[in-house]
Copies of this chain bind each other. A is one copy, B any other.
Amino acid sequence: MKTLISIAVLMGTAVLSLPAAAQFAKAEDAIEYRQGAFRVMAHHFSRLGAMANGKAPYNAAVAAADGDVLAVVSKLPQAGFVAGSDKGKTRALPDIWKEEAKFKDLYEKMVAETAKVATAAKSGSLDQLKASFGPAAQSCKACHDEYRAK
């Protein structure tokens, strides 16, 4: 049984790390998927930012709910950056596919920083939310500066 579970885990890992292209019928689908996920992420992240920056009243319950969504959704767009999806209705720059390791690093930095925002958002502490927000916003900007058309 233990062996079976190990095999299942290994297979799971293998499939999850297959070229993401396998997940989408065509490049356009991948573009729409990543844009959809970024759109959702931006909404919840912006709402947390408004609280962090005093532009909206702090509400612990709303912040916690936004944090929950952010933690899940921030991981999703990466799978949409499949080979061939630099063309079409996208602002993603071709360098993403030329500098995959660097793009991956920046992406993972963003996931790590937004995870800290999610934790802070669920802490009930506005001070923690404020402290976490800046580095996360910077991690978004770092990638946009390099890899998103102006």
A contact set with B: CB distance below 8 Å: 8-9, 11-13, 15-16, 23-24, 29, 32-33, 35-40, 43, 47, 59-62, 65, 68-69, 72-73, 76
Contact = CB atoms under 8 A, between A and B. Distances in A.
Nearest to A61: B12
Total copies of this chain within the assembly:
2
Contacts of A60: 8, 12
A39 B43 contact: no
Contacts of A72: 68-69, 72-73
Contacts of A13: 61
Given A47-B23, A69-B72, A72-B72, A9 B40 contact: no
Given A36-B39, A37-B40, A12 B59 contact: yes
Contacts of A61: 8-9, 11-13, 15-16
Contacts of A69: 72, 76
Given A37-B40, A47-B23, A16 B76 contact: no
A84 B8 CA distance: 48
Contacts of A39: 32-33, 35-37
